Amino acid sequence: MLSLFNGEPVNHTQFLLEDIVRAKWIRSKLSGTNAVDNLKDSAVSVPAKYGPGGESYLVTIGLGTPKKDLTLLFDTGSALTWTQCEPCIVSCYTQTEPIFDPSQSSSYANISCSSPSCSQLPSGTAQRPRCSDSTCVYESRYGDRESFTIGFFATETLTLSSTDAISGFEFGTKRDQIRPIILILPPPPLISSTGYLTFGKGNGRSTSVRFTPISTVSQSSIFYGINIIGISVGGKPLPIPSTVFSNAGTIIDSGTTITLLPPTAYSALRSAFRQAMSKYNMSAPASPFDTCYDLSGSTMVTTPVITFSFNGPIAIDLDPSGLLFPVNPSKMCLAFASSPADSDPSIYGNIQQRSFEVVYDVAGGRIGFGAKGCS
């Protein structure tokens, strides 16, 4: 999870360039924590909302004693939780909420350089930790080679609800940065839906959830992997060789907006989608999108059903909201893009996860998808 901040308004191109940067960062991690099943028998849920612009998921949690509420970006593709903390040694970016001050919390504690938690940091950050007066210092850099976060590695009490708190939660106390990696856009008027983020084993899971095994992606322990075995458009399987997906694998990531597919797979998807949408007027591309439509004169738009098949086997029909990206009120684009090469992993982004209940059953080694998760 990353701390939320306010940025200057940006256009869709700048925002999507950040998505591309994130994909580069993921690929860099692949080229180159032990999990403990301590979940309770019951579960706790916190509201999850679209971030401004609809490109991310936000949750509000409490940190410290007494707790201070913080709004965080929920990101399954980042291994380290961090938030801005006082004092800012060099600079802090502007955020709407007060910056967390560890000196005002009775449960805050720095992690020592000799701690196993400190020595294990490279598995999540790909950076060797440093020491400052025997305190562990973390550093995490992002794909644009300019953005980074650095600060003390510490433990604190994380509060999820009035009755649920996690003591000794390990997180980064960011004290310095150059440029934030996430850009916050002005909120469009229609993005107001609220979902939820649930921690624990509870029995509230929908019976419609279908599971696929978690897979290893290039031996990386940072990311959650899933195996795509096919894609269909309008019920017709696309002619994509199975090796296109099996060679590099697929990462599921709530922090990447649009799904990135190997060129061979994307080309097949694009061709079938264009054929199914042939009655609508295409418009100029809007990078990284190359399949866009002018739908300003359409009162009702019918899109083909896009189905992803995963190892299991299970077949998931994407929600219509996960097919088109609104570049502006009149321009809608196919919400997929091509990776640079077939050897790059696919990244299953958050637009295609919209409206689904997505279950990370880490102890069971599986990820589940349940349609109409917010209904």
* CA 231/CA 272 separation, integer angstroms: 11
Which residue type sits at 346? S
What is d(CA 58, CA 51) in angstroms, rounded to the nearest whole number? 6
Has 342 been annotated as catalytic?
Answer: no
Q: What one-character DSSP code corresponds to residue 353?
A: G
Catalytic residue among 19, 69, 253, 317: 253
Residue 276 near residue 43, CB atoms below 8 Å: no
Q: Is 253 a catalytic residue?
A: yes
**CA geometry: angle at 182 spanning 176 and 187, to 5°?**
130
* 124, 137 Cβ separation under 8 angstroms: no
User: How far is it, in rounded angstroms, from Cα 205 to Cα 357?
Assistant: 8
Question: Locate tokens 């098949």: which residue?
Answer: 309
351 touches 362 (CB < 8 A): no
Laid out side by side, the sheet with 314-317 consists of 236-237, 228-233, 306-310, 314-317
- The total of other beta-carbon atoms located within 10 Å of residue 34's CB is 7
HEC string of 66-79 equals CCEEEEEECCCCCC
State the CB neighbour count (10 A cutoff) for residue 370.
Answer: 18
For residue 42, CA distances in Å to 36, 163, 166, 202 come to 17, 12, 14, 4
How many Å apart are CA 63 and CA 74, to the nearest integer?
15
Catalytic residue among 19, 41, 69, 75: 75
Residue 372 phi, psi (nearest 5): 55, 45
Find out whether 269 and 289 touch, Cβ atoms under 8 Å.
Answer: no
Residue 30 corresponds to which amino acid? L
The catalytic residue positions are: 75, 253
